[in-house]
Chain A
Amino acid sequence: MKYTLVAWMRDTPGVLNRVSGMLRRRNFNIDSLQVSHSETPGISRMTFVVAGDKRVADQVVKQLRKVVDVTAVEDITDQLAVLRELALIRVRTTTATRGEIVQFAEIYRAQIVDVSAESLVVQAVGTEEKVDSLIEFMKPFGIEEMVRTGRVALCRGDNRSKPEKLSTSVFKATARLNGSGRG
């Protein structure tokens, strides 16, 4: 099973390293990880695809929440969401094959974004399955170079709840030590 997780984090130096280091250290199996800006300045948005069972996905969520710079985490696997990936594929062409490649691209609603004498670059946007499938069709022509962004996801609808901020500051341990709290 694949789980789609979204995490929001303060855009501090090293935050990607904190998150990726934690995932590696705890031996989680991550299929893809994508980082970008979010709608809030100073907050980055990370999309993860996690392979494993529900328990593993829950652990990833909990461990992510523990990273101090991570402000919110959501498992959107069971939510209605738009899941997309972008791929740029440079395919070898000859005069004989160019037309066929363009036809395939059209079927997949992919675009030709660069053309040269011996190759062209196909830009595909869609689910991973769709991109996988297009790549399979392109393989016989010869894929010279390829880049995929990994999954990005956005929940559908406009009334979905935004993940709340995890907490506000509570000086409980401090109060306890000062004798004004419990214990």
Chain B
Amino acid sequence: MAIAKREPIDSGYDPGPLEMTGSQMIWESLLREGIDIVFGHPGGAILPAYDALAPYEADGRIHHVLVRHEQCAAHMADGYARATGRVGVCIATSGPGATNLVTGLATAQMDSVPVVAITGQVPTNLLGTDAFQESDVVGITQPVCKHNYLVTDIAELPLVMKEAFYIAREGRPGVVLVDICKDTQNAAGVFRYDFDIDLPGFEPWPEYNAEALQAAADLLNRAERPLILAGHGIHLSYTSEELLKLVEKAEIPVVTTLLGTGNIPETHPLSLGMGGMHGEAFANRAVQACDVLVAMGMRFDDRITGRLDRFAANAEIVHFELDRSEVGKNIVPDVAVIGDLAETLPAFLPLIQERHHSDWVQELNVWRAETNEADIIQYEVEELIPPFVIRQLWHATERTDKRVIVVTDVGQHQMWESQYYIHEEAGMLLTSGGLGTMGYALPAAIGAQMSDPHALVWCVAGDGGFQMTLQELATIQQEKLSVKIAIINNGFLGMVRQWQQIFYEKRYVGTPVLSPDYVKLADAYDIPAAVVRHPSEVVPALEQAHATEGPFLIDFQVKEEVNVYPMVAPGAAVDELIRRPKPGYAQGYSGVQPSW
């Protein structure tokens, strides 16, 4: 279960200036960026590029994955990028093709995932005429991209391609879209790729300030109740090892964000798991009780902070962050260290004194024990409940020696996965955290599996989200992938239903959702499947899935009205939790329990 091996992306391939068409330039650029896979869907305005792809596909230099909906091309590129750290590439035609990408691009951008999207555009002489399949793609995607380009001149294309990959990859990763007019794809020009990038306004790697680092160290060295809040930035900078060293050197407990899951192994005694809206009570209590909070590579999202003015109210806050615009956006820190964690964290480590915080950790352990006592799993074994399914999934994957990647959709199952799956390393959970995009899991799992055919990839989705993108089952078969799928099927759009139960007096408007017979559906795609209705069937089904070559789908028909606890109501402080119902309470219990 080793972390993804990062393969060289620099192919070193550059035969110098060559005469070619714009379409060829697209693929030649990709080769020079070390890209060998694209996810896309053809159409009129991108046809020249697809035509030019033929020789690259024929000799295996570039593999094209045909999606069933362009949104999924963006999600697959996203899943591929998250699983590898490399840039994911998706491609679509103009108009509807490009607008279909938008949700996927916004998802990737919100979660700092490097994706380059290539779209065809109507010929330059038709621009602005409301031509067939014309839309203002640069205008539409601007708010959800790190940067984007419209290319109308063949002479600009090579540089634009190089800049696009540079911007997507360097600094805080993000999405860059390149919209290329059809006549520009057809035009001929000279292709070279040895440009120097000259983007004076793009500051990917700000230099950190040594004084700020020292000030941060002084604060942490003085702390009696220190806490680290670790986000996606730790994984993006590959610094989870340094983080662990820091944590152990000064005995500092760690709370993670959803995308920071696994930044330190969740079996580690100093790991408190995820904080925020569905974080465990002891994790949120730690945030509220700490005296120095060191936030690393995270952006104080409302789902993690709850009510801002009561967030970590007793703490002095240190913020390590690469993107300076995140500093002071939601929380104004006492000390900000702006820079790359791969530099700041190793430089920070020697400034931190070796010490123990036994009293603080002891206190947290008391809170933890209390939470574990109220754990839902311990007394709901007669009926099939989602937390049990997730925990068994963890047990099943724990036994494999393969690299495990879990991809979750959005909603209740996503939170249960976060709570009940034990993540041992950063980057093993792929999920749409910022945008919360239902339908993400299946295509992102396909993207992840494409990056590593030997990995054990589990797509965990609810019955609502799965039905948003289930057409990609066909892609799984067309690409002969072995994605394993767990549908946590409770007959509801569960998280919305939970909110309706708690905040809207149980008026379930628009949330009961009908599912097809997933076994039959899978059968239509020639994918083996099983249905699970009782706890005793869970382990055999998981074993069958693992024993089966290729894809496998399990329809877990779980108890309907189960809620995710604990829960911080929107706008409440993170210690104002709705706790798990105590034994004896009915599952449908909707009252707000006192926070204890």
Contacts and interface: CB of A to CB of B under 8 A. Distances in A.
Nearest to A10: B201
Given A68-B201, A176-B342, A55 B9 contact: no
A65 B338 CA distance: 14
A179 B6 contact: yes
A177 interface: yes
B184 to A, nearest CB: 14
B147 interface: yes
Contacts of A34: none
A167 B205 contact: yes
Contact of A170 (B196, B204, B237): B204
A53 B343 CA distance: 33
B9 A166 contact: no
A62 B324 CA distance: 7
B139 A17 contact: yes
B325 A169 contact: no
Contacts of B8: 177-179
Interface stretch (B162-170, B286-294, B491-499, B513-521): B162-170
B342 A183 contact: yes
B202 A174 contact: no
B200 interface: yes
Interface in B164-199: 166-167, 169-171, 173, 196-199
Interface in A151-183: 165-167, 169-174, 176-179, 182-183
Interface stretch (A69-77, A117-125, A128-136): A69-77
A6 B142 CA distance: 22
Contact of A69 (B166, B196, B201): B201
A14 interface: yes
B328 A55 contact: yes
B203 A167 contact: yes
Contact of B170 (A59, A66, A166, A170): A170
Measured as residues with beta carbon below 8 angstroms from the partner, the interface class of chain A is 35 or more
Interface in B377-413: none
Contact of A183 (B166, B170, B238, B329): B238
Nearest to A181: B342
B366 to A, nearest CB: 37
* Residue among B85, B142, B238 having the largest count of chain A Cβ atoms under 10 Å: B142
A133 B343 CA distance: 55
B-side interface size class: 35 or more
B243 to A, nearest CB: 12
Contacts of B343: 182
B150 interface: yes
A63 interface: yes
A122 to B, nearest CB: 39
- Most B CB within 10 A of own CB, among A13, A66, A67, A70: A66
Q: Label chain B's interface by main secondary structure.
A: loop
Interface in B195-252: 196-206, 237-239
A21 B199 CA distance: 21
B325 A166 contact: no
Given A69-B201, A169-B197, A169-B199, A62 B170 contact: no
Central interface residue in A13, A25, A182, by most chain B CB within 10 Å: A182
Given A17-B139, A71-B201, A165-B200, A183 B237 contact: yes
Contact of B200 (A22, A71, A170, A182): A71
Interface string B1-12: 000001111100
A177 B289 CA distance: 39
B332 interface: yes
Given A174-B10, A178-B9, A72 B143 contact: no
Contact of A67 (B9, B166, B201): B201
Contacts of B555: none
A65 B237 contact: no
Interface string A9-31: 11001100110011001000000
A124 to B, nearest CB: 35
A137 B327 CA distance: 46
Nearest to B204: A170
B86 interface: yes
A171 B200 contact: no
Most interface-central of A55, A69, A169 (chain B CB within 10 A): A169
Contacts of B7: 177
A166 B328 contact: no
Contacts of B203: 65, 166-167
A106 interface: no
Nearest to B237: A183
A95 B142 CA distance: 55
Contacts of B10: 174, 178
Interface string B339-357: 0101100000000000000
A174 B204 contact: no
A58 B201 CA distance: 17
Contacts of A25: 143
Given A177-B9, A178-B10, 17 more contacts: A9-B201, A10-B200, A21-B142, A62-B328, A68-B147, A68-B202, A72-B200, A166-B203, A167-B200, A173-B170, A174-B169, A176-B238, A178-B8, A179-B6, A179-B8, A183-B238, A183-B342
29 contacts: A13-B150, A14-B138, A22-B143, A59-B325, A62-B325, A62-B328, A65-B201, A65-B203, A65-B324, A65-B325, A68-B167, A71-B200, A165-B200, A167-B205, A169-B166, A169-B198, A170-B170, A172-B170, A172-B340, A173-B173, A174-B169, A174-B170, A178-B9, A178-B10, A179-B6, A179-B8, A183-B237, A183-B238, A183-B239
4 closest cross-chain pairs (CB), A and B:
A183-B238, A62-B325, A71-B201, A167-B203
